[in-house]
A = this chain, B = another copy of it.
Amino acid sequence: MQTSLKIAVVGSGLVGSLLAIYLKKAGHTVHVYDRSPDIRKINFSGRSINLAMSNRGWKALDAVGVGDSVREIAIPMDKRAIHLVDKLNFQNYGQEGESIYSISRGKLNRKMIDLAEEAGAEFHFEQKVWDVTLSEATLHIGESERGEWEERKFDMVFGADGAFSRIRHRMQRQSMFNYSQEFLNMGYKELNIPANADGTHKLDKNSFHIWPRGEYMLIALPNLDGSFTCTLFMPFEGQNSFESLTDRKMVEDFFEKNFPDSIEVIPELANDFFKNPTSTLVTMKCFPWTYEDKIALIGDACHAIVPFYGQGMNAGFEDITVLNEMMEKFGNDWKKIFSEYQISRKPNADAIAELSYRNFMEMSTKTADEKFLLQKKIEKVFSDKHPDKWIPLYSRVTFSDRPYAEALAIGDFQNEIMEEVLRLDNIENIWNTEQVENKILELLSK
């Protein structure tokens, strides 16, 4: 049994709220601070990509008994719908019955805060944490950065305050703190496909829709109300870029030409385009994640990644799963808990950062490529026949809870094998033969 501690969680986002539930269930007093107003009382929209909940996320939710409550607001997507300029292809994500789940970030966040409050966590909104005294687990809170601050002392502080974490900001100023932030030369903008008049979806509801166009792409994920949240990813500068689309007509012409089947389903295209902000995409890495037995970072605060694998929230929730394992294993020895937590998670956070970065290429370019689709078909056939010998990379990341670092390493190995297989003569015709199966078996056993 753990000694009950007074714990602050900074950040009431998805990871902060779920962590609060875990800490309450472990018997602690939990105060959650957020600089923003209560998301349940405001209109939240305009700059989010819908979440894609997968195995790691569900595992963390179910272990604390809130999975079913979240399933109520989730829509399964079992396949990619790939919108080429002249045709529509479908590609299953996994085996029969395997899906990722579209959830609105705002809806999920509201629900998570409700659940955390029910569990007994106390929320403090519009409380701006500007600094933390690491050795004392003391928060410094005030209206403005240069104004008066109040001190709040805790036994322990978790920084779940996202990619631009204030808690990490203080840790960064220690010696020996490794840190990097790297922005993509690409941004994203939210657009909207409204529901039909009867509340049904204008596109297939159980698909993750992609319009792959190489350097840029459009995606759409379903919402419960029949609408889709769309996201346009595009370079900031250059030929096809946010900078190059300067008026309504240019935006409409661009979509007409490049996403012809999207035009009739995005009625407010030009309005949304100029009203909604263009957001940035950053990969942030750091180490260490903890300070003695006083401070720990979690989620985006210690490993912000680009969204192309749909694993940001899932990775943050998995942090909590691992932290909880360490809590159960090491009892009141928080130094050990924090140390084992960060050692276990860091290589996996780095791996999913790399996989996410690479996956833009897969989504925007390879899904439009015949050779890539052939590779996926070969992998599927082989994997169905030898499930013990071949779990495709996407499935290992999305439908398993094997470590991300293992997925990255095995994925690279599998890719080398498939490159060799695709070089076989006449592979387009022989792909579903024993010859190919034996070739893969041979390469696997090397």
A180 at the interface (CB under 8 A from B): yes
Residue contact B175 to A182, C-beta cutoff 8 Å: no
Residue-wise, chain A 284-324 has the 8 Å CB interface mask toward B (1 for contact) of 00000000000000000000000000000000000000000
Bound Cα distance A181, B178 (Å): 5
* Contact B175–A181 (Cβ < 8 Å): no
- Residues on B with C-beta less than 8 A from A172 are 181
Within 8 A of B (CB), among A271-290: 280
Check if A254 is an interface residue, CB within 8 A of chain B. Answer: no
User: What is the CB-to-nearest-CB distance from A280 to chain B, in angstroms, rounded to a whole number?
Assistant: 5
Which A174-205 residues have a C-beta within 8 angstroms of B? 175-183
Q: Which residues of B contact A180 (CB under 8 A)?
A: 179-182
Q: Is the CB of A280 within 8 A of B175?
A: yes
Could you tell me the distance between the alpha carbons of A182 and B180 in the complex, rounded to whole angstroms?
A: 8
Are B178 and A182 in contact (CB-based, < 8 A)? Answer: yes
Q: In the bound complex, how far is the Cα of B283 from the Cα of A179, in angstroms?
A: 11
B residues less than 8 Å from A280 (CB atoms): 175-176
Which residue of the partner chain B has the closest CB to A284?
Answer: B179
Of residues 125 to 180 in A, which have CB atoms within 8 Å of B's CB atoms? Answer: 172, 175-180
Within 8 Å by CB of A178, from B175, B177, B178, B183, lies B183
Q: How far is the CA of A180 from the CA of B177 in the complex (A)?
A: 10
Distance in angstroms from A306 CB to nearest chain B CB is 14
Kindly list chain B residues whose C-beta atoms are within 8 Å of the C-beta of A181: 172, 177-180
A199 CB → nearest B CB, Å: 38
- The contact of A183 among B177, B182, B183, by CB within 8 Å, is B177
- Closest partner residue, chain B, to A145 (CB atom): B131
How far is it, in angstroms, between the C-alpha of A180 and the C-alpha of B181 when the chains are bound? Answer: 6
**Cβ of A178: which chain B residues have Cβ within 8 Å of it?**
181-183
Assuming A175-B183, A180-B181, A180-B182, what are 13 further A-B pairs, CB within 8 angstroms?
A172-B181, A175-B280, A176-B183, A176-B280, A177-B181, A177-B183, A178-B181, A178-B182, A178-B183, A179-B179, A179-B180, A179-B181, A180-B180
Q: What 3 pairs between A and B have smallest CB-CB spacing?
A: A180-B180, A176-B183, A178-B182
Return 16 A-B CB contacts under 8 Å, by A number.
Answer: A172-B181, A175-B183, A175-B280, A176-B183, A176-B280, A177-B181, A177-B183, A178-B181, A178-B182, A178-B183, A179-B179, A179-B180, A179-B181, A180-B180, A180-B181, A180-B182
